Amino acid sequence: MICDDTTTEPEVLVAEFLTDVETLRKRAREHIKMGPITEAYGADRDRVISVLNEALATELVCILRYKRHFYTATGLNAAPVAAEFLQHANEEQQHADQIALRITQLQGEPNFDPEGLATRSHAEYDASLDLLDMVREDLIAERVAIESYSEIITWLGTSDSTTRRMLEDILAVEEEHADDLLSILQDMNP
């Protein structure tokens, strides 16, 4: 193919919202200790870290509640329900790990202190002995988590897309948990 050398390239327009490359490079060097957090980070970092620590406490309490329910579930229908409790416990553990990692990326400290854990958590612990009560309490806790994650996501808006995306993924799993529990509840108590 023969190229037409006389054709002039259209002028490439740099989007106006982008900071010029010199300034970007200078800023990246200046605050190197902040790791992935740059001047473009639009949220209140300290508040995001405290909100994430509350979410971490919520996940940790949910792990403990599901583990308690898994090990104490008894009765005729217990086996498949207990299996569901265990699966939820493992997924809450993944959420706790994701949230703790994000807190460290934001240069904060994940709070795993057992002191005050139940107070920091949005959802509650439960030690019911009846299988139906366990499922009901788990469903309530999931609904609390769904509501608080939805509010945090709205609050973040576009100010911290990485945290928001992570929480949106977690929220989707909490909705699945609530749906699983509702099905179990309906099977057990039509």
**Min separation Cβ 125 and Fe ion, Å:** 14
Choices 11-19, 47-55, 64-72, 174-182; region in contact with Fe ion by CB under 5 A = 174-182
Nearer to Fe ion, 127 or 172 (CB): 172
Nearer to Fe ion, 137 or 174 (CB): 174
CB atoms near residue 13 (< 10 Å): 6
Which of 174, 180, 181, 184 touches Fe ion (CB under 5 A)?
Answer: 174
What x/- string results for residues 36 through 75 when contact with Fe ion is judged by CB under 5 A? -----------------------x----------------
Q: With beta carbons less than 8 A apart as the criterion, state whether 107 and 139 touch.
A: no
Map the footprint of Fe ion across residues 76-135, applying CB under 5 A. Answer: 92, 95
Choices 8-16, 114-122, 129-137, 172-180; region in contact with Fe ion by CB under 5 A = 172-180
Residues at the interface with Fe ion (CB under 5 A):
59, 92, 95, 142, 174, 177
